Amino acid sequence: MGTVDGEADWGLVAQMRTFVESQDPSAKETDDYTLRRFLRARDLDIEKGSSLFLKYLKWRRHAVPNGFISESEIQNELPQRKLFMQGLDKAGRPILVGLAAKHDYSKRQIDEYRRYVTYFLDKACARMPTGKEKFICIADFKGWTFAHFDTRAYLAAVEIMQLVFVEDKKLQETLLEEIDENQLPEIYGGKLPLVPIENA
């Protein structure tokens, strides 16, 4: 099995494309970088990567029947101003910021929340420079209390994406290892004001 790095052999991606297009013709609309993300998510195993991708297409048709989530479909979530889209880190990946304490459990409707997470990820992917496959998300728990705890919402988010939480007392120093000061949000000692996700 080859590797899929830099200017590597894209043969595995081509094989995966042949298979997934034979199973679902709508896969033809997907670019090679997206297929590569699914392939890498399954350790370059074509069968497992293809299975994951085909499940994603099926989910997408059901969850996003219009092909996108409109702001009118998430009108209770957007005013909470809990997600922000910043610049790019040193590796050229989009930077997102989530403020957990801004989540209002009393206004949450689970189907709308799922649409909101999808909207958020679509915005991140749309900002993804060609050749990049990841984005950085700063999940900020400052001010978060058990009053904000929402098990159903967190499980819904985990269903859609993988989350990794890191606690670091040297937050600014750690963030500056990955993000230039002019791209780092002001609330973390940088120079860039927060940009609400809908304005990105």
Range in 4-8, 37-41, 149-153, 181-185 with the lowest mean pLDDT:
4-8
The answer to whether 95 touches 87, Cβ cutoff 8 Å, is yes
Structure tokens at 96: 């997102």
The per-residue pLDDT for 93 is 87
pLDDT of residue 2 exceeding 50: no
pLDDT digits (tens, 9 = 90+) for 130-145: 877 778 888 888 888 7
- CA trace torsion 82, 80, 141, 90 (10° rounding): 10
pLDDT digits (tens, 9 = 90+) for 67-96: 899 999 999 999 999 899 888 889 888 888
pTM of this prediction? 0.66
Mean per-residue pLDDT of the chain: 82
pLDDT digits (tens, 9 = 90+) for 45-61: 999 999 999 998 998 89
pLDDT digits (tens, 9 = 90+) for 160-195: 654 434 445 566 777 788 888 888 888 888 888 888
**Side chain identity at residue 97, one-letter code:** V
Name the DSSP letter for residue 128.
P
